[in-house]
Amino acid sequence: MSKILVVYFSATHVTEKVAQLLGQGIHADVVEIVPEDRYTAADLDWTNSQSRSSLEMKDLTCRPAFVKEKSSLSDYDTVFVGFPIWWYREPSIVDTFLEAYDFEGKTVIPFATSGSSGMGDVMTRFQNLLPKSKVMEGKRFSAHVSKEELTAWADNIFKR
C-alpha cells in the first residue's frame, strides 16, 4: 500500500495550514521542516538586503540547517513538499531537506503559498535537486484554499 508524506516548511504558518489540510484530505502523515534557528520577523524582512533570508536566498549554495527528526523516508513512496515562495523559488532550507534524504524512486510533488507569484523556478530546481525521482507538476495555492480543493488536486495527480 502506497504511503504518502506531506512535509512542509512555513515561517509564518500560512503553508503550515495548507499542509495540514492537504494531509487530512489525503490521509497522509504530515511533518514540519523545523529550522535549527527559527526565522524571526527581522530575518524575514525582504526589504532589507542584509536580512537573514535575503542573504540566504542570494547564495544558491546556502543550506540552512533543519532538525532531522526522521532518519529516513523509506516508509513513503510519495512525498508532497510544501513551502512559501521566497524570491520566486523554494527557501534554501527546503533544498537542505531534499539533499538530506534518499529520494530515489519516489514521486515528489511541490506545493507552495505566496503573496502572488506562481511556482517560478521551482519545477526546474526540484528536477535538478532530485534527478532520481519522479517530480510531478506542482502548484501554488492562496492562503484560503479549501481542503476540498487540495484533495481534488492531489487525487488528480494520483490518476496520472
Neighbours of 20 (CB within 10 A): 18
Query: Would you say 3 or 62 has its CB closer to ligand FMN?
Result: 62
Stretch that binds ligand FMN, among 5-13, 67-75, 92-100, 150-158 (CB under 6 A): 5-13
User: Which amino acid appears at position 139 of this protein?
Assistant: K
Query: Would you say 87 or 134 has its CB closer to ligand FMN?
Result: 87
CB of 39 to ligand FMN, least distance (A): 8
Eight-class DSSP state of 119? -
* HSE-CB for 159 with a 13 A CA cutoff: 6
* Structure-block grid coordinates of residue 123: 519545477
Binding residue for ligand FMN, selected from 20, 53, 107, 133, defined by CB under 6 A = 53
Rounded-to-integer distance, Cα 9 and Cα 93, Å? 8
CB of 75 to ligand FMN, least distance (A): 25
**Site map (CB under 6 A) of ligand FMN, residues 125-154, x = contact:** ------------------x-----------
54 to 83, contacts with ligand FMN by CB under 6 A?
none
CB of 6 to ligand FMN, least distance (A): 13
What is the phi-psi region of residue 104: left when phi exceeds 0, alpha when psi lies from -120 to 50, beta otherwise?
beta
CB of 3 to ligand FMN, least distance (A): 25
* HSE-CB for 150 with a 13 A CA cutoff: 29
Query: Would you say 12 or 74 has its CB closer to ligand FMN?
Result: 12
Sequence-distant (6+) residues with CB within 8 A of 37 are 64, 65
CB of 37 to ligand FMN, least distance (A): 15
